[in-house]
Amino acid sequence: MSLLKKLGKKELQLFADTDVVSPVNGEIIPASEINDGVFAQEMMGQTIGIIPSDGTVVSPVNGTIVALYPTGHAFGIMGKNGNGYLIHIGINTSSMNGKGFKCFVQQGDEVAAGQKIIDVDLSEVKKEGHDTTIMIIVTDKAKDDYKIDFIDPTIVERANKINK
């Protein structure tokens, strides 16, 4: 059962360290449907894509920001469950050099699942000719056999649990 925690005027739902939540509002797609060979073939680790319907990106897990690209297009989290995650916003968006991205955290910050990390201007991403799909990649596993059992492809809301 989830609890609510007041943070100023905002309420942040608390999740277990084993929970993975959607970083955005949008539609989950399997890795095989991502328009990039590296992500589609899961070369960096288990991957899932979400076609975003807006640009507010939150942390999918409880953990620590271990990497934050200066361009704002990607960030890494070491989850409290011992697994590492890369959240990559769009395809080839590093070439935008930060245009359209605004970060709200710094490397080393502790974050909660559902906490805002980045705002991205999706219209700017599209204007630059890039795909807006957001990927969650499990880059480091606490146990060799760790695999997230994601929910089936569907429409999801930001900060709602997407693992079974």
Which amino acids are annotated catalytic? Answer: 88
- The Cα diameter of the chain in Å comes to 42
**Which residues lie across from 102 on neighbouring strands?**
119
Other Cβ atoms within 10 Å of 22 Cβ, number = 26
Residue 51, judged by CB atoms within 10 A of its CB (0-12, 13-18, 19+), counts as: middle
Nearest to 136 by CA among 62, 18, 28, 35: 28
φ, ψ for residue 39 (rounded to 5)? -75, -40
